[in-house]
Amino acid sequence: MVLPTLLLSLDVGRLPEPVSGSSVTCLPLVTYLNCETDSEVQEYRFEERTWRIHWLVGQCKEGRQLPQELRLPAPLPEVRVDLRPMQPQEIPDTEANYWAACDSFLGGEGILRVLGAPLWLTVPLEFHCSCGRAMKYVASLGYELPDTPSRFLKGGQVLFVGEMAFYFFLCGACLRVRVATQST
Ligand SMILES: [Zn+2]
């Protein structure tokens, strides 16, 4: 049985702005990393105290796991990630900054972005929770390049499952997270 992978425990209690009207202090960002899912989006609900995940949408397709040699470790090794404010050039307020930020997001230093505006989307993503509220974009993850040293993995592996980015949207009232992906 293939289980989803915890990518990041995001300490949203320390972010400069509240996340989606929620009192949640830590947000588990989870996705199927090593398997193609049966839906374009994934969705789960989590329990704040226990972090128990209830998977709702986007199961691992039968027989669609990545080949063994391409799979990332599951679970991922625990690594502390320090967040810092974005630099002015990382905020996509001009076309030049937008493309520079995309380059950083896809194979550069800035593969993890929290809040701000999501990058590299061909169409804007808007999701509504089953409760009717708009889900708020919280974070996104790009990828490391295969020929660069990883900041997250050891043994020559990098955080790369294809030229793909993951986008996380939250309904803070229901603690439901929707995961959208985009690939080249
Ligand atoms: Zn909701």
| Domain residue spans of the chain | 5-80+89-183
Retrieve residue 8's tokens. Answer: 């990041």
> DSSP per residue over 18-34, as a string?
-STT---S-EEEEE-SS
Tell me, in angstroms, the distance from the centre of ligand 1 to residue 130's CA.
6
Tell me, in angstroms, the distance from the centre of ligand 1 to residue 45's CA.
10
Tell me, in angstroms, the distance from the centre of ligand 1 to residue 6's CA.
21
| 52 exposure class (CB count in 10 Å sphere: 0-12, 13-18, 19+) | exposed
The predicted structure's pLDDT at residue 51: 86
Tell me, in angstroms, the distance from the centre of ligand 1 to residue 58's CA.
18
The total of other beta-carbon atoms located within 10 Å of residue 166's CB is 21
> DSSP per residue over the chain, as a string?
----EEEEEE-GGGSSS-STT---S-EEEEE-SSEEESSSEEEEEE-TTT--EEEEE-PEEEEEEPPGGGPPPSSPPP------PPPGGGS-SSHHHHHHHHHHHBTSS--EEESS---S-SS----B-TTSPBPEEEEEE-B--TTS--SS--TT--S-SSSEEEEEEEETTTTEEEEEEEE-
According to DSSP, the β-strands at 35-37 and 112-114 are unpaired
| Rounded distance between C-alpha atoms, residue 57 and residue 42, angstroms | 5
Tell me, in angstroms, the distance from the centre of ligand 1 to residue 156's CA.
40
The predicted structure's pLDDT at residue 21: 66
pLDDT of the chain, 184 residues: tens digit per residue: 788 999 999 998 888 777 766 778 899 999 999 998 999 999 999 998 888 999 999 999 888 898 888 889 999 999 999 899 988 888 999 999 999 999 999 999 899 999 988 999 888 899 999 999 999 999 999 999 988 889 899 888 899 988 999 999 999 999 999 999 998 7
The predicted structure's pLDDT at residue 63: 87
